[in-house]
């Protein structure tokens, strides 16, 4: 009964599209003969469906990128003058942005410890470790985000990420 009902539903929904269903060895069962077709008609229908699928428009999918954003303050950087501090802030912001990319691509390992003595928490620490290789990251933007802070945006394409992950493993 379940087999017949499935065939009827499929046949009914596909018949409105002009597609005939093949006879899957059900001719000797209790299915109404109107739902069976000969093998030649089924083969012709399959060829027609393949041709119509080939004419369907192809949708181009844009490959996404992964973006990392880094920030750094100018005033806390080492340097003899303001220009040297700005350069150091830009370098630090870029490293921060690359760190974010590394987290997104390779993940981050968190380790936590809690020390308890006499039912009182003595210390609670959390450590984050990141390790990975980033190749081919492009710097998209370098600009001051305030009077004392620089923002750097870097990005990397999905195919390059897949290559990096394969090489890393």
In a domain, 60, yes or no: no
What one-character-per-residue DSSP string does 54-117 give? HTSPPPPPPPPEEEEEEEEESTTS--SSHHHHHHHHHHHHHHHHHHHHHHHHH--EEEEEEEEE
pLDDT higher than 80, residue 50: no
In a domain, 90, yes or no: yes
Give the structural domain span for 23: 2-54
pLDDT higher than 50, residue 13: no
Find the range with the poorest average confidence among 3-17, 44-58, 59-73: 3-17
Reported as a single tens digit per residue, the pLDDT across 89-141 is 999 999 999 999 999 888 888 899 999 998 899 999 999 998 888 888 999 99
Token pair, residue 157, equals: 């394409």
Residues 159, 63: contact at Cβ < 8 Å?
yes
Bridge partners (DSSP) listed for residue 104: none
Domain match, 11 and 49 both: yes
Mean residue pLDDT of the chain comes to 76
């Amino acid at each position: 009964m379940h087999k017949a009902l499935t065939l009827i539903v499929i046949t009914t929904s596909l018949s409105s599209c002009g597609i005939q269903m093949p006879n899957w060895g059900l001719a000797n069962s209790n299915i109404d003969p109107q739902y069976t077709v000969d093998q030649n008609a089924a083969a012709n229908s399959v060829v027609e469906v393949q041709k119509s699928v080939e004419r369907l428009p192809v949708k181009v999918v844009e490959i996404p990128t992964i973006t990392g954003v880094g920030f750094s303050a100018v005033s806390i950087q080492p340097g003899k003058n303001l220009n040297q501090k700005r350069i150091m802030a830009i370098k630090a912001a870029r490293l921060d942005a690359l760190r974010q990319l590394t987290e997104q691509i390779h993940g981050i390992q968190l380790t936590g410890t809690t020390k308890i003595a006499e039912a009182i928490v003595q210390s609670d620490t959390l450590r984050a470790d990141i390790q990975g290789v980033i190749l081919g990251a492009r710097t998209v933007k370098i600009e001051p985000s305030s009077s004392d802070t620089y923002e750097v945006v870097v990005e990397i394409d999905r195919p390059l990420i897949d290559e990096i992950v394969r090489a890393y493993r």
